[in-house]
């Protein structure tokens, strides 16, 4: 039932679920060490710790040229490399594409694998960020990778928050 609810919600309302956000730059944690500049909150659409209260969904460069989710103790987040696309809009603006992403056969509240992936230029990623209260699902592309230094991500399509529910 959990999978079906997620599938139906995403499939039939995919266009209204997205809020598109412009590009952002994340610096390597391994190279620079500045936590705030290495992280981003899809939920708050910010890197500013006074806004996010140090609650970030993604980090770059810890280790090396990777994107990491699942950074706090009550976090069951994961990230999937969807491969090379000209644009994430190819997925986001297509109900068939959305349907293929939506039903992955995973209970997102209990999945703990796949919290780090390599950052690869022109690849799109699906990030499912879960904590004890909410989830946020984000589709984005790595626009440019500056090896061991920084990454620019763009075409960020942020789903509305999904409140956790009991089965």
| Number of domains observed in the structure of the chain | 1
Q: CA–CA separation, 54 vs 133, rounded Å?
A: 16
Boundaries of domain holding 47: 19-85+104-162
In a domain, 65, yes or no: yes
Residue 126 included in any domain: yes
SS3 track for 90-159 = HHHCCHHHHHHHHCCCCCCCCCCCCCEEECCCCEEEEEEEECCCEEEEEEEEEEEEECCCEEEEEEEEEC
pLDDT given for residue 141 in this prediction = 94
- Note whether residue 35 is domain-resident: yes
Q: What is the DSSP secondary structure assignment for residue 46, as one 8-state letter?
A: B
Q: How far apart are CA 105 and CA 49, in angstroms?
A: 34
Instruction: Report yes or no on 6 lying in a domain.
Output: no
- Taking 70 as the pLDDT cut, the residues of the chain under it are 1-22, 94-113, 133-134, 160-167
Using one digit for the tens of pLDDT, what is the confidence trace for 47-71?
Answer: 999 998 888 899 999 989 999 997 7
Whether 145 maps to a domain, the answer reads yes
Q: What is the pLDDT at residue 162?
A: 63
Per-residue pLDDT, 35: 92
Scan for tokens 């770059």, then name that residue. 60
* Structure confidence at residue 59 (pLDDT): 96
Question: Where on the phi/psi map is residue 54: left (φ > 0), alpha (ψ -120 to 50), or beta?
Answer: left
Domain annotation covers residue 98: no
Whether residue 94 lies inside any domain: the answer is no
Give residue 73's pLDDT.
72
Residue with tokens 């039903």: 103
**What pLDDT does residue 53 have?**
83
Q: What is the pLDDT of residue 91?
A: 77
Neighbour count for residue 122 (Cβ, 10 Å) = 14
Specify if 36 maps to a domain: yes
Q: Spell out the residues 6+ positions from residue 89 whose beta carbon is closer than 8 angstroms to its own.
A: 155
């Amino acid at each position: 039932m959990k999978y079906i609810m997620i599938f139906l919600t995403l499939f039939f309302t995919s266009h209204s679920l997205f809020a598109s956000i412009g590009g952002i730059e994340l610096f390597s944690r391994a190279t620079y060490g500045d936590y705030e500049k290495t992280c981003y909150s899809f939920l708050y659409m910010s890197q500013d710790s006074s806004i996010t209260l140090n609650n970030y969904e993604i980090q770059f460069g810890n280790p090396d040229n990777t994107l990491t989710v699942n950074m706090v103790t009550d976090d069951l987040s994961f990230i999937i490399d969807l491969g090379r696309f000209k644009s994430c809009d190819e997925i986001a603006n297509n109900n068939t594409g959305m349907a293929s992403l939506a039903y992955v056969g995973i209970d997102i509240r209990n999945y703990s694998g796949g919290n780090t992936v390599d950052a690869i230029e022109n690849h799109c990623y699906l990030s499912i960020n879960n904590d004890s209260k909410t989830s946020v699902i984000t589709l984005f592309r790595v626009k440019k990778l500056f090896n061991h230094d920084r990454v620019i991500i763009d075409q960020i399509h942020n789903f509305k928050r999904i409140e956790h529910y009991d089965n």
